[in-house]
Amino acid sequence: MKRKTLILSLTVIVFTLATLCGVLAGCSDIKTLFDVNATNLADYANFSYSNGDNKINFSLKASGEAWVRISWDSAVAFNEIFLYENGNNVQNFEVYVNDNLVSSEYGIGKMRNVYLGYTTATSVTIKILSSSGTYKLTDIGIYNLPRNRDFHSTAFVRLNENGDPFDGVNLSQIKNYTDYIIYPLVYFDSEGNLNANGKELSEITRKIRSFNYTAKIHLMILPESDEDTSENDVRHSAFKDYADALADNVANLLKSSGFDGAVFGFDFDFGENLFDYGSYNDFIEILRGKIMSPYEIGVFIRPDAKMFNKQSKKLIDNFYVQTPNLDDNTQSSFYNTVCQTLEKLKDSDLPKSKTYLTVPFYSYDKESETLYKYCDYAADLGKFGYKVTVGETEVPFNGYSFVRDMAAFCYDYGIAGTVSVCPHYDTTDELSLAAAIKEAVS
């Protein structure tokens, strides 16, 4: 096993993005929000259960290991399975197609999808391996869902601030994304002035387009704090009192450097109020007037953020939404990470067609402030693994199948795309998380 690595290289993520994630407890219900517009092949199947029952409908209640076999008289074609649980007690389960193991997963909760790609079969078996007490699966959906729309796969790339920006960055790991967010090379002060090297930024856009000509490249612009002034105070001052100056400087920088848009993060740990929200919305409107389409405005927010008014939601092009496992992967079940995030998005009335969910390519233990890179443990995880043991610590990961299923669910739900945070922690082999995203949406 690799030794755990302290999270030194992610200072900006921790203080700019990850601290924004709060405890998610959605009011909306993901099952009622997600209406699958396709034929459910399970409606025409027979069901055989491990207890000897044979039924014409689906329902599985047990404690511990049990299974249900779904079968058809002739082969059917499908690419995705949806499972629904009353509660959140299932721990491990497996999926078999024609008696061949195709997926091994952790947790179901209200809703859990398993993306298989185009498949033909006469039977599917769902086998529950372990649970925390009695569980009840209430429904199953087996669908052949279309893959016919654009889906953005964005790389959130940290470049070197001193010397060559690409020093230590493996370009082969980021070449196949549709979009990029570059940081932390540009800062603004409390009077709206930018600290940036325009020549260096131009070279960055040129180099990225040399291997990905069609990609959109966005620039993360961060508040610059010092010993006397917090990032939050800088942001408030610039947005409230120097909005025009900051917007002018951003517009000029985008035009001179070749970036396609600007991205701002918002920190929620300092008690913002309605007056702060007003200045945020005013700034968005001013910025939109300075950087007209096709330049884009992006914001990093948490899913329960409600500071933007209707006008700002129209003017903002991209909402990058932090999932709770961005800064703490100790409870990264599919339901906690994906479903509750989407429930919160609905309650916040954010347009899902402009929304992106973050996918950390690492595991972060918030309590010990320790980061574990996916690439160091991918071989141990394999395609179906979700945790490894490092010393005496069990470290959970968003592994290949988790990321594949998450991307597929976002695609089906209508989300604009995903944001891979620290894509340079990926592998370049068959366990690549970027490849998992691509598999789910193509």
- DSSP class per residue in 289-313: HHS-TTSEEEEEE-TT-----HHHH
What are the Cα distances from residue 241, in Å, to 235, 249, 262, 286, 311? 10, 15, 20, 12, 20
pLDDT at 272: 55
Tell me the three state secondary structure of residue 439.
helix
Instruction: Write the DSSP assignment of 125-185 as a string of letters.
Output: EEEEEEESSEEEEEEEEEE-----S--EEEEEEEPPSSS-TTTT--GGGTTT-SEEEEEEE
Q: Which residue type does 193 have? A: N
Closest CA to 147 of 412, 420, 433, 415: 412
- Dmax (CA) for the chain in angstroms is 73
pLDDT at 440: 97
Q: Which residues fall within 8 angstroms of residue 3, CB to CB, at 6 or more apart?
A: none
Q: Are strands 134-143 and 60-63 parallel, antiparallel or unpaired?
A: antiparallel
How many other CB atoms are found less than 10 A from the CB of residue 361?
25
How many other CB atoms are found less than 10 A from the CB of residue 332?
24
Closest CA to 191 of 228, 223, 227, 219: 223
pLDDT at 27: 62
> For residue 411, with 0-12 CB atoms within 10 Å meaning exposed, 13-18 middle and 19 or more buried, which class applies?
buried
Q: Can you tell me the distance from the alpha carbon of 83 to that of 108, in angstroms, rounded to the nearest whole number?
A: 7
Instruction: pLDDT tens for the chain, 442 residues: list them.
Output: 333 333 334 434 443 444 333 333 446 788 888 888 899 999 999 999 999 999 999 999 999 999 999 999 999 999 999 999 999 999 999 999 999 999 999 999 989 999 999 999 999 999 999 999 999 999 999 999 999 999 999 999 999 988 899 998 888 899 999 999 999 999 999 999 999 999 999 999 999 999 999 999 999 999 998 888 888 889 989 999 999 999 999 999 999 999 999 999 875 444 455 567 888 999 999 999 999 999 999 999 988 878 899 999 999 999 999 998 888 876 568 888 999 899 988 888 889 999 999 999 999 988 889 999 999 999 999 999 999 999 988 999 999 999 999 999 999 999 999 999 999 999 999 999 999 999 999 8
Locate all alpha helices (DSSP H) within 242-369, ordered by sequence: 243-257, 274-290, 310-315, 334, 340-348
User: Is 20:386 a contact under the CB 8 Å cutoff?
Assistant: no
User: Is 366:330 a contact under the CB 8 Å cutoff?
Assistant: yes
- 132, two tokens: 């925390």
User: Is 299:319 a contact under the CB 8 Å cutoff?
Assistant: yes
What phi and psi values does residue 27 have, to the nearest 5 degrees?
A: -90, -35
Q: Are strands 66-85 and 112-131 parallel, antiparallel or unpaired?
A: antiparallel
CA atoms within 13 A on the CB side of 437: 27
Q: Which residue type does 432 have? A: S
pLDDT at 267: 55
| Helical pair 231-241 and 243-257, crossing angle rounded to 10 deg | 100
Q: Can you tell me the distance from the alpha carbon of 215 to that of 219, in angstroms, rounded to the nearest whole number?
A: 13
User: Is 176:182 a contact under the CB 8 Å cutoff?
Assistant: no
Q: Is the Cα dihedral 408, 413, 417, 423 positive or negative?
A: negative
Q: Which residue type does 150 have? A: D
| Helical pair 243-257 and 198-211, crossing angle rounded to 10 deg | 50
How many other CB atoms are found less than 10 A from the CB of residue 189?
18
Q: Is the Cα dihedral 17, 20, 23, 28 positive or negative?
A: negative
